[in-house]
Structure 1
Amino acid sequence: MFNRLKLSVAALALVAAPALAANDSVIIGIALEPPTLDPTSGAAAAIREVTQVNIYEGLTRFGPDGSILPALAKSWDIEENGKVWIFHLNEGVKFHDGSDFDAEDVKFTLERTTAEGSTNAQKQLFNGIETVEVVDAKTVKITLKAPDANFAFNMAWGDAVMMAPESVADNATKPVGTGPYKLGEWVKGDRIDLVANPDYWGAKPAIEKATFKIIADPTAALNAMMAEDVDVFPIFPAPETLAQFEGDSRFQVLKGTTEGETILGLNNQKAPLDNVKVREAIAHAVNRQEIIDGAMFGLGTPIGTHFAPHHPAYVDLTAQSAFDPEKAKALLKEAGVENLKLRLALPPPMYARRGGEIIAAQLRNVGIETEISNLEWAQWLEQVFKGKDFDLTIISHVEPMDINIYARPDYYFGYGKPEFVAILDELAVTADDAKRTELLQSAQKMIADDYVNVYLFQLAKAGVAKAGLKGLWPNSPAPIIDIGALSWE
C-alpha cells in the first residue's frame, strides 16, 4: 500500500508540474468598467486600458517609457519639414475576422475620424490632415495642412487605432482589431475576457487568456487581492492599504507616475464661473496637500497648471494659486458674488469621490456651498463631458501631453482662447527643442493666469501584483495595460 501511495503521489506530481510551469492566464483588476470597447467613439480611459495594444493597434504605439514605437507601420518617412508623412505597413497583418489590413483601412480610419459627425473624443488630433492617399497596399501618404512634428505621437493615441469598414459599426460590443487578443466574453458589470489571437502577425504573447475583473469598491479590491483571486491591480483603488502588501512576500507593489492631471474642472461658459475672479477665488480656497493626503493618502504631486511635472518643459506654478482662504473671500467680494451655490458632479473614481467631499468643505469655508451629485461613469460622460451640464467636477486627464484640449472652445470646460490657440498652432510647426519648450511654458502660464481650472495633483500610479508576474509597466505614459508584455516567472 505504501508503494502504491508513493506511485500515486509521484504520478500526481508529474501531472501537476506542467500545469504549474505553463501559467498562461492572468486576472487583472480594474475599478471602472468601459462604457464601450471602441476607443474611437468614447473618452473613458477604461476603454483604452482594456483595448489599446491588446485588441486594437495604431500605426504607432507608446512604449513603457513614453517613447513612440512602430506598430502597424514598420517605418515612416517625413517630408516637407513634417507636412508629408509616408507610412510603410507591416506585411501579413489581418483583422480578427480574417480580412487583410492594408492602406485602404488606414484611409478609411483617418477619414472617418475627421468626418462631419465624428464622435472621436480627440478629433482635434486629426483635424490637420488634408489628404490620405493609398500609394499601394502597404504604403500610405498623409499630407497635412501644415507641418506637424507631433504627428507620429498623435497616431499612438487610442483614438487613432485602425479599424475596417466591414466591422466598425459593431466595434462597441464586438470589437474587431488587428491586435494580439480577441474579445472572448463581456459579462456586463463583472468581467471582460480576452483570448490570444492565434493568427497574430507579431510576436506570440506568453499570456493566452486575460480577464479584466471589474471591482469598483476599494474594500472588495483589497479582499480580492489578499485572497489572490486577482493577479494584478495596475491602478489599485485602495492606496491606504499598500503597506499591507509591501510587507507580504506574495506581492509586489509598483509605484510610478502617470500622465494624469487631476483637476477641479470649472464650467468657464456659465456664470459666475465665466468671471476670472470667481475662478481664482475657488483656486485659492482649495488646499491641494489636504486633498492629496486625505483622498490619495499622500500619493500625488501638486500641480499649478495642466502639465506633467516629469516633463522637461514643466513650469511649477503652484505658488500662483496657493491655498489662501482670505484672498479667496476678498476676490469673491470684488466679483460681487454672495451666497454662491455650485453643483459638484463627481464620477466614480476614488480621487473624485473622496476629493469631492474635501473640496466641498474647503469651499464652504470661504462661503461657497456645493450640491454634490455622485454620477456613474456613463452619466458623467453624457451629462458633464458631452452635455456640459455642470458647475464643478473632478477628473483626471490621463492622456499624454494633452494641454491641447484647452484650444477647443467646445471642450467641456469651455476655454479655447484665441491667443492660446495661436500658441498651439505655432507649436505644431516648430521643430527646435528650445523654442518648443518656450511655447509649452507660455501655454502653461496662460491657462494658469486665466484660472481655467483648479489644478490639483498629478495622479500617481500605485499598483499591486503577485510577486511572480513580470512585464508590468512601472509608469503610465498612456492609459494602457499591455497584456502582451506580461509573463509568469
Structure 2
Amino acid sequence: MRTNPKTKNLLSKSLFFMLLVIVVLISGCSNSNNSNSTARANNTANNEAAQGSEAQDKTVTVAISSDAGIDRLDAGAYDGSMNVHAMIYEGLVEYGEKGEILPSLAESWDISEDGKVYTFHLRHDVKFSDGTEFNADAVKFSFERWIKDPANSLNVATAMQSLVVVDEHTITMTFNKAYYPFLTELSFARPVRIISPSAVEPAGDITGKFIKAIGTGAWMAESYKTDQEAILVRNPKYWGEMPKLSKIILKVIPDPQSRVLALQAGDIDIAGGQMGKIPVESVPVIEADSSLTLQKAQGTNSHFMIFNYKTPALQDLNVRKAINLAINKKSIVEDLMDGIGSEAQGLFPLTVPYVTESNNTWYGFDPLEAKKLLAAAGYTDSDGDGIVQKDGAQLELNFVLQQAEYPEWKSISELVQSELKEIGIRVNLQVLEPNAYYDALWTSKAYDLIMYRTYDDAYNPHAFLLSLFHKTADASAVVWSDPGLESLIDTAVGTTDIQERQTAYDSIFSKLYQEAMFAAIYFPDDILAVNNRVTGFKPGYSTFMPVFWNLLDIGEK
C-alpha cells in the first residue's frame, strides 16, 4: 500500500507510526480480493497519471506487411491482423514466458480432478472501451458467437459440452475429455478473445452483425485506411497499467526492403517479427545505423526437413541418420543466416514448454560417419561417379521447397544439396510456388524431402505434434507415421499430472531422435529493428504479442 506524500507531511510522527501498524495488520489478514482491490486502486492512480502528466502526444509508427483489417476485426473470427486482435481484445488467460499460463480477464481458475471442468473467476470493475460492463454474460456471449461453428477445430470448441454463468463474475466450462492445452488455446489471439455485446447489431445478439472492434484491451482503434494504415490509441477505461504511449500507427509496407529504407529514413520506428519481417541480408545495414538498434530474441519455432516415409530409401534408419550427420547446421547459422539463430538441437528450441536441456538433443556434423552408415545400409559407389548405389539404382532424392515466404530456404537447400552430394546422395531441388508447395506437403506427397517449419509459441509442442506427427480419422501422419509415437502424444495431451506429462514429452523427443524422423536445420531468432528514440522496448512471448506495447515510451536512452 502506498501513502500519498502530501498526506504524510501533515501527519505527526506518532500518528504515522500508528497508521503504519494498522496497515501492516490489515495486510497480514487480507485475502486475494483485498490484494486485487489494492492493485486496481494502484492501476487507477497510474492510469490517471498517464492521462494527466503524459497527456502529450507520444506516437510510435510500426511497419506491418499487410492490411490490419480493422473493419473486420471480430474477436470471434479469423479476419484481420492477429497482432491487432491481441492489442484490442483480451482473453481469460495470457500466454507467458515458455508457455506459462497467466491470469488476464480471469483472476484465477479451478480445474476438476478429472480435468474436464474449468471454473473461471473473473476480474471485477473491468469495462469495455465503450464503457459497457465486462462480466460472465459478456464471456458467454463472446464464446457462443463462434463455438458452434463447424469449421472451428480448436479443442476448446469441439470438446465443450456446456458454458454456464454461475454468477456475474464466475463462469464454468465443461468438456468431454481431459486435455491440458485447453488453457493454452484460451490464450490464443483469436477467436477466444472477449468482445463487447455492443460490438454487434442488434446488440447482444450472438448472430448479430459485427460493427466495431470493442474490447477490454489497452488499445482501441481510432482510424483506419485500407491497405495504408491503422491508428490505435490507448483505451482510457483500461483496467491495467495504462500504456505510456498515446498512439501507435500501424503503417502498411508490403516490401521488406522498403521497410528497411523507411526505418533508415525515420518514417517508421519499429519493424520486424511476424508483423513485417526484416531480410537477413539487411541486418548488417541496420547494425551499422547509429539511429537504430537491432533487437534479437530466441524464437519459438524451428526449420527442419521432412522425410517422406513412403520413399523406400528413407525407410532405412541408417539413411535417415546419414542425412542428418551430413548437414553442417553451424555453417547454416553462421554463414547463411549471419548468426541470426542457432543450430537446431531437436524439433523445438528451449523456449517451448516441456523442452529441456536433457531432452533437447540431435545429431552433430560428421560426414565420415554418414558415409559409414550408408555403407551399412548397402549403398556403395560402384562406378566411381560419386553417387552411391544399391541394387543397381542410385540414391537420388527430390527436395521440395518454396522461397516466397521463406527466401532463406533457397540458399539453405543449396547447401544441403552440396553436403549430401559429398556423402554420395544426389539431390534434385524443386522450388515451387506456395500453392503448389502446400499441395505437395499436405495432399499429393510429391516429394522425398521437403523444407518446413514448426508452429509458433502457444501452438507448440502439442498442436504441432498432433497436426504433423499424429494420424487423423481421414489420413496418416504428415511427417512420420509411428503408432508408438502417437500413443505418447495422446498421453502427453490427456494427462492432468504435470510430471507424467513431462515424462511423456521426454519420451516423445527421445523417440524422434532415436528414429531420426526428420532432419533438424536451425532455430531462427526473432529480430526487430527499433529507432533509438523509442525506450522501454521488451520483446513479447508470442508472435501475436511480439512487443510489450504498454511499456514503450519516447525519450532519451
1:428-459 superposed Cα distances (whole Å, 9 cap, x missing partner): 45565554432221111223344443322222
Q: Do residues 50 (structure 1) and 50 (structure 2) align?
A: no
The one of 367, 372, 395 equivalent to 2:453 is 395
Q: Do residues 264 (structure 1) and 308 (structure 2) align?
A: no
- After TM superposition, give the deviation of residue 133 of structure 1 in Å: 2.0
Any conservation in 2 of the 1:88–1:140 contact (CA below 8 Å)? Answer: yes
**Equivalence for 2:485:** 420
**Equivalence for 1:223:** 261
Distance 1:403 1:250, change over 3 A: same
- After TM superposition, give the deviation of residue 187 of structure 1 in Å: 4.9
**Equivalence for 2:529:** 464
- After TM superposition, give the deviation of residue 142 of structure 1 in Å: 1.9
Q: Do residues 24 (structure 1) and 50 (structure 2) align?
A: no
Could you tell me how far apart the structure 2 residues matched to 1:385 and 1:176 are?
39
Any conservation in 1 of the 2:185–2:458 contact (CA below 8 Å)? Answer: no
**Equivalence for 2:356:** 313
Q: Do residues 445 (structure 1) and 477 (structure 2) align?
A: no
Q: Which moved more, 1:187-196 or 1:131-140?
A: 187-196
- After TM superposition, give the deviation of residue 188 of structure 1 in Å: 5.4
Q: Do residues 139 (structure 1) and 205 (structure 2) align?
A: no
Normalising by the residue count of structure 2, what TM-score does the alignment of the two structures yield? Answer: 0.68
**Equivalence for 2:402:** 345
Distance 1:34 1:64, change over 3 A: farther
Letter in 2 for 1:152: L
Q: Do residues 208 (structure 1) and 229 (structure 2) align?
A: no
Any conservation in 2 of the 1:288–1:457 contact (CA below 8 Å)? Answer: yes
- After TM superposition, give the deviation of residue 222 of structure 1 in Å: 2.8
Q: Which moved more, 1:105-114 or 1:339-348?
A: 105-114
- After TM superposition, give the deviation of residue 281 of structure 1 in Å: 5.8
- After TM superposition, give the deviation of residue 297 of structure 1 in Å: 0.8
Any conservation in 2 of the 1:239–1:462 contact (CA below 8 Å)? Answer: no
Q: Which has the larger radius of gyration?
A: 2
Any conservation in 2 of the 1:27–1:231 contact (CA below 8 Å)? Answer: yes
Could you tell me how far apart the structure 2 residues matched to 1:442 and 1:252 are?
41
Runs of at least 5 residues in structure 1 that lack an aligned partner in the other structure? 1-17
Distance 1:147 1:371, change over 3 A: closer
**Equivalence for 2:432:** 373
Letter in 2 for 1:407: L
Distance 1:65 1:40, change over 3 A: same
Distance 1:455 1:96, change over 3 A: farther
Could you tell me how far apart the structure 2 residues matched to 1:189 and 1:393 are?
31
The one of 188, 193, 202 equivalent to 1:161 is 193
Question: Which residues in structure 2 correspond to 1:291-370 (within 5 Å)?
Answer: 291-310=332-351, 313-314=356-357, 315-319=359-363, 326=371, 338-352=395-409, 354-359=411-416, 361-362=418-419, 366-370=425-429
**Equivalence for 1:407:** 466
Distance 1:479 1:76, change over 3 A: same
The one of 83, 103, 122 equivalent to 2:136 is 103
- After TM superposition, give the deviation of residue 369 of structure 1 in Å: 0.5
Name the SS of the counterpart of 2:260 in structure 1: helix
Letter in 2 for 1:210: I
Could you tell me how far apart the structure 1 residues matched to 2:91 and 2:398 are?
45
Percent identity, please: 22
Letter in 2 for 1:106: V
Q: Do residues 287 (structure 1) and 320 (structure 2) align?
A: no
**Equivalence for 2:554:** 488
Name the SS of the counterpart of 1:319 in structure 2: coil
Name the SS of the counterpart of 1:132 in structure 2: strand
Any conservation in 1 of the 2:457–2:541 contact (CA below 8 Å)? Answer: no
**Equivalence for 1:71:** 104
Name the SS of the counterpart of 1:254 in structure 2: strand
Name the SS of the counterpart of 1:318 in structure 2: coil
Could you tell me how far apart the structure 2 residues matched to 1:381 and 1:125 are?
30
Letter in 2 for 1:58: G
Q: Which moved more, 1:239-248 or 1:381-390?
A: 381-390
- After TM superposition, give the deviation of residue 125 of structure 1 in Å: 5.8
Could you tell me how far apart the structure 2 residues matched to 1:351 and 1:303 are?
16
Could you tell me how far apart the structure 2 residues matched to 1:41 and 1:380 are?
27
Name the SS of the counterpart of 1:51 in structure 2: helix
**Equivalence for 1:13:** none
Any conservation in 2 of the 1:207–1:486 contact (CA below 8 Å)? Answer: yes
Could you tell me how far apart the structure 2 residues matched to 1:172 and 1:350 are?
37
Any conservation in 2 of the 1:415–1:452 contact (CA below 8 Å)? Answer: yes
Name the SS of the counterpart of 1:158 in structure 2: coil
Could you tell me how far apart the structure 2 residues matched to 1:206 and 1:303 are?
38
Name the SS of the counterpart of 1:397 in structure 2: coil
- After TM superposition, give the deviation of residue 385 of structure 1 in Å: 7.7
Any conservation in 2 of the 1:266–1:273 contact (CA below 8 Å)? Answer: no
Any conservation in 2 of the 1:57–1:178 contact (CA below 8 Å)? Answer: yes
Letter in 2 for 1:487: D
**Equivalence for 2:14:** none
Could you tell me how far apart the structure 1 residues matched to 2:54 and 2:193 are?
36
**Equivalence for 1:3:** none
**Equivalence for 1:88:** 121
Any conservation in 2 of the 1:461–1:475 contact (CA below 8 Å)? Answer: no
Name the SS of the counterpart of 1:463 in structure 2: strand
Normalising by the residue count of structure 1, what TM-score does the alignment of the two structures yield? Answer: 0.76
**Equivalence for 2:9:** none
Distance 1:138 1:310, change over 3 A: closer
Could you tell me how far apart the structure 2 residues matched to 1:189 and 1:161 are?
24
**Equivalence for 1:455:** 520
